[in-house]
Chain A
Amino acid sequence: MLLIRCPYCEEERPELEFRNAGEAHIARSANMAGESDHDFEKFFFIRSNPKGIIYERWRHVHGCARFFNAVRDTVTDKFVMTYKAGEPKPSKLPGVTK
């Protein structure tokens, strides 16, 4: 069972308290109705499935109930970092070398 740090509670809590909510940093268009088929497909259906670093959303559903973002390595299953919803994608990751 993973330990996940909730950036709002500022604590590591067991995975049982959380729920994964899919890939992060996929913004909903401000002009949703006007999106092209191609753009809507990209927004709604296309997800990355990387071997390695993934940016994803989690919800501390059985805790503070907040949604937040996390960086996780899909190979080691280790969390690199977590940060609050709305914060930009981190440009530098601690302990990760390209």
Chain B
Amino acid sequence: MSFLIGEKMTGGYGGADILHDCTIAADQGEIAVIVGPNGAGKSTAMKAVFGMLNIHSGRVMLDGEDITALTPQARVAKGMAFVPQTSNVFPTMSVEENLEMGAFLRRDNIQETIDQVYELFPILGDKRRQNAGELSGGQRQQVAVGRALMTQPKVLMLDEPTAGVSPIVMDELFDRIIEVARTGISILMVEQNARQALDIADKGYVLVQGRNRYTDTGQALMNNPDVRKSFLGG
């Protein structure tokens, strides 16, 4: 059984169900990527795993523990971290203060973790006194990921981390995400740039209309002619 698993989740934001029997899982040190066409319920699936919407059947398990009933805040305390797609930084606070706020729940010394984040994203170290709102889109995404890492999570969930950044920055962000995964953190990520994302993914989930359509390793999905034709543009 996987370290993190959202199993047979069915639910939505209130009205009609968006997810139908959807299963998403990630193992330790593994990158799992959710791809699919617009409106497939990719972000919704991730939010369901994080407890931001109600699922009325199915369950979410973290490290063998059923966390389906927990609030997102309680899941943070359990070792999950979430980077929203938009407004994912505190714009009028400095980079360093953003990181401090990420570690708000921690009572121990956070300096070591801050240094680790600066090591991972050297540009943030240079700009530690600058307000996050004044940074470029790519740098802001780095702050957002850094903030999420401050709780020393076991699972990092990213909702379209490369939305609106240039291809060069995207490649660099993916490199950093691989580095994070190598430290043993599970990564669950929703991506629009399906091809590049599947390239680095250990596991890929192709969702269509809130259902699992294909589930395989990233490489296998890339080589699957059906997936290529329908979702990767040939």
> Are A and B genuine complex partners?
no
